[in-house]
Structure 1
Amino acid sequence: MCSAQDPAKRILVYTRNYTPNGKGYVHQNIASSVEAFRRIGARHTITVDTSDDPSVFTPGNLRRYDALVFSNSNNEAFATDAQREAFRAYIHQGHGFVAVHSASGSERDWPYFQQVLGGHFAFHPPEQSFTVTVTDPSFPITRSLPSTFPWTDECYFLDRLAPDLHILLTTQRNALSLGEKAQDAEQFPAALPLAWSHTFDNSREFYLALGHDSKDYQDPLFNGILERGLLWALWIDR
Structure 2
Amino acid sequence: MTPDTGVVLVFSATAGYRHASIAAGAAALADLAGEHGLRTRHTEDPDDLREGALAACAAVVFLSPTGEVLHDRSRAALRDYVTGGGGFLGVHAATCAEYDWPYYGELLGARFDGHPEIQPADVLVHDRTHPATAHLPATWRRTDEWYNFRAGPAGRGVRVLASADEDSYDGGTMGTTHPLVWCHPAGEGRVFYTALGHLESAYADPEFRRHLGGALQWCAGLAD
Shorter-chain TM-score category? over 0.9
What is the CA–CA distance in structure 2 between the aligned matches of 1:61 and 1:42, rounded to whole Å? 20
Q: Which has the larger strand fraction?
A: 1
Map 1:136-147 onto structure 2 (within 5 A): 136-147=127-138
Computed over aligned residues only, the root mean square deviation of the Cα atoms, in angstroms, reads 1.6
Match of 2:86 among 95, 100, 107: 95
Gaps of 5+ in 2: none
Match of 1:36 in 2: 28
Match of 2:168 among 155, 161, 175: 175
Match of 1:21 in 2: none
Match of 2:17 among 12, 25, 37: 25
Say yes or no: does 1:82 pair with 2:44: no
Match of 2:51 among 53, 56, 59: 59
* TM-score, structure 1 as length reference: 0.87
Q: Percentage identity across aligned positions?
A: 32
Is 2:7–2:38's contact at 8 Å kept on the other side of the alignment? yes
Is 1:8–1:45's contact at 8 Å kept on the other side of the alignment? no
* TM-score, structure 2 as length reference: 0.93
Gaps of 5+ in 1: 1-5, 19-23
Say yes or no: does 1:107 pair with 2:98: yes
Is 1:11–1:66's contact at 8 Å kept on the other side of the alignment? yes
Deviates more, 1:29-38 or 1:156-165: 156-165
SS of equivalent to 2:57: coil
Equivalenced residue count is 220
SS of equivalent to 1:120: coil
Match of 2:209 among 207, 223, 226: 223
What is the CA–CA distance in structure 2 between the aligned matches of 1:92 and 1:99, rounded to whole Å? 16
Q: Give the 3 Å change call, closer, same or farther, for CA 161–111 of structure 1 in structure 2.
A: farther
Q: List 4+ stretches of structure 1 deviating above 6 A.
A: none
Is 1:154–1:212's contact at 8 Å kept on the other side of the alignment? yes
Structure (1 or 2) with the larger CA radius of gyration:
1
Q: Give the 3 Å change call, closer, same or farther, for CA 193–110 of structure 1 in structure 2.
A: same
Task: Kindly provide the amino acid, as one letter, of the partner of residue 6 in structure 2.
Answer: K
Say yes or no: does 1:72 pair with 2:58: no
Displacement of 1:160 in angstroms is: 4.1
What is the CA–CA distance in structure 2 between the aligned matches of 1:237 and 1:96, rounded to whole Å? 12
What is the CA–CA distance in structure 2 between the aligned matches of 1:7 and 1:40, rounded to whole Å? 19
SS of equivalent to 1:55: helix
Match of 1:132 in 2: 123
Match of 1:204 among 190, 193, 203: 190
Match of 1:16 among 1, 6, 13: 13
SS of equivalent to 2:113: strand
